[in-house]
């Protein structure tokens, strides 16, 4: 069975086939055991996919969100800056860190070994925490914003 | 295009959004109230965690608030909201995978995903256990899918969206939707056949 037929079975399952095409495919299912077996397998997989009922909406959710929006509207903050501003700032920060790392490594080669490793450890700790908290968050948020354009 | 415009005009959500842009906070609260249920549900299904879903849905609504003045009415408001929500949740999932990759862990493994503790809604203990096993298997199956396929599968299977609606939400063609759904189902079937999802034959038949 070719991929096209399997995709048609998916459409049959999902309700996206035209009535004529659906009639034709159902007639083929009667005649072709291999196709009928694939159809049964597909239906079984599809109906076997189940998730628990979603959690109820927390009481006062809409009011809390509206209050947050009011807060944000009242002032400017990093989170309300346009996506491109945040992306540019993040890129500048990454460049700065990369340059800093390069300089650190270069000076590490010049300094006595004990001192260099201490400096490098301290730099690594600082850069790790930056990546962990603000930087990664800003990067992903900026990407979110860029991808949401209607 | 004429149909699109007609549909846009028919959705009162765009008027509400215009009022939000004009500074009417009541209109924003109304919009949140009318979309919160389906948006929270979508985020929970994508992230597999109710608490994270609440944070994500809040972020999505705040984005809607910030962008209310920029958006051009096209299609339905919920389609646009779904798009923001799917992007937001998929980025969260990619972040999770990146963190696992950086820790030298299997990026597709859901071992450090939030604990799975769905509510018991089945009538008896045996049925409840059975239901939890099915839900767990589905959750594992979905967690192993690439982000794009996961989104399509959830929108098709659990949100009941048509290919066309999914294409609108994800900004891809109907053909791409069909192809992603096909590949997602193939992967799930293969995983079920090898038993890696721990789906018993009895669960599969249900």
User: Element (H or E) spanning A113, and its range?
Assistant: helix A113-130
Residue from B53, B52, B62 nearest B28 by CA: B62
Residue B28 confidence (pLDDT)? 92
Domain residue spans of chain B: 1-112, 116-206
pLDDT under 50: residue ranges of chain B: 1-8, 111-112, 198-206
Chain A contacts in chain B segment 62-101 (CB below 8 A):
62-63, 65-67, 70-72, 74, 80, 83-84, 87-88, 91-92, 94-95
Q: Apex CA B149: angle with CA B147 and CA B152, to 5°?
A: 110
Contact present, A28 and B175 (Cβ < 8 Å): no
pLDDT of residue B200: 43
Question: Residue B107's pLDDT is what?
Answer: 57
CB contact under 8 A, B32 and A61: yes
Per-run averaged pLDDT (10 residues), chain A, 150 residues: 86 89 94 94 90 90 92 65 71 80 68 46 40 51 56
- The residue ranges of every structural domain in chain A are 3-48, 79-147
Structure-token pair, residue A41: 């397998």
B116-123 contacts, C-beta under 8 A, 24 or more apart: B116/B48, B118/A52, B118/A53, B119/A52, B119/A53, B119/A55, B121/A52, B121/A53
Report in angstroms the alpha-carbon separations of A148 from A84, A110, A140, B85: 13, 48, 12, 9
| B3 reaches A (C-beta below 8 A) | no
pLDDT at residue number A76 = 53
Residues A45, B45: C-beta atoms closer than 8 Å: no
* Class level of CATH domain B1-112: mainly alpha
Q: What's the pTM value of the predicted model, to 2 decimals?
A: 0.70
CB burial string B71-108: b at 16+ within 10 A, e below = bebbbbbbbbbbbbbbbbbbbbbeebbeebeeeeeeee
- For domain B116-206, the question of CATH label 3.30.1600.10 is answered with no
Judge contact between A69 and B28, C-beta under 8 A: yes
pLDDT recorded at residue A78: 55
Q: Kindly state whether B111 is in contact with chain A, defined as any CB-CB distance less than 8 angstroms.
A: no
Q: Which of B31, B98, B148, B182 to mutate to test the interface with A (most CBs of A within 10 A)?
A: B182
């Amino acid at each position: 069975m070719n991929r096209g037929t399997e995709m048609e079975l998916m459409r049959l399952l999902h309700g996206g086939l035209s009535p004529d095409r659906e009639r034709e495919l159902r007639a083929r299912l009667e005649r072709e055991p291999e196709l009928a077996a694939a159809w049964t397998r597909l239906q079984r997989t599809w109906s076997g996919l189940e998730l628990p009922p979603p959690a109820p909406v927390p009481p006062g959710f809409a009011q809390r969100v509206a209050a947050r929006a009011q807060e944000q509207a009242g002032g400017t903050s990093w989170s309300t800056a346009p996506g491109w501003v945040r992306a540019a700032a993040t890129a500048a920060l990454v460049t700065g860190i990369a340059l800093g790392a390069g300089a650190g490594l270069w000076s590490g080669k010049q300094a006595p070994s004990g001192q260099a490793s201490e400096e490098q450890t301290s730099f690594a700790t600082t850069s790790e925490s930056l990546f962990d908290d603000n930087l990664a968050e800003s990067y992903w948020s900026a990407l979110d914003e860029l991808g949401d354009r209607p | 295009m004429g149909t699109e415009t007609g549909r846009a005009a028919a959705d009162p959500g765009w008027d509400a959004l215009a009022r939000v842009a004009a500074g009417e906070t009541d209109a924003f609260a109304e919009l949140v109230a009318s979309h919160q249920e389906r948006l929270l549900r979508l985020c929970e299904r994508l992230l597999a965690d109710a608490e994270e879903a609440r944070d994500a849905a809040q972020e999505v609504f705040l984005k809607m608030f910030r962008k209310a003045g920029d958006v051009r009415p096209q299609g339905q408001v919920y389609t646009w909201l779904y798009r923001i929500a799917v992007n937001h949740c998929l980025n969260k999932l990619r972040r999770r995978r990146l963190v696992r990759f950086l820790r030298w862990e299997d990026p597709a493994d859901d071992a450090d995903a939030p604990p799975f503790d769905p509510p018991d809604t089945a009538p008896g203990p045996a049925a409840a256990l059975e239901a939890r096993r099915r839900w767990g298997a589905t959750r594992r199956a979905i967690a192993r899918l690439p982000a794009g396929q996961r989104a399509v599968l959830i929108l098709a299977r659990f949100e009941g969206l048509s290919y066309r609606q999914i294409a609108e939400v994800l900004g891809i063609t109907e053909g791409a939707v069909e192809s992603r759904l096909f590949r997602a189902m193939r992967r799930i079937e293969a995983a079920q056949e090898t038993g890696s999802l721990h789906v018993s034959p009895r669960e599969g038949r249900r």
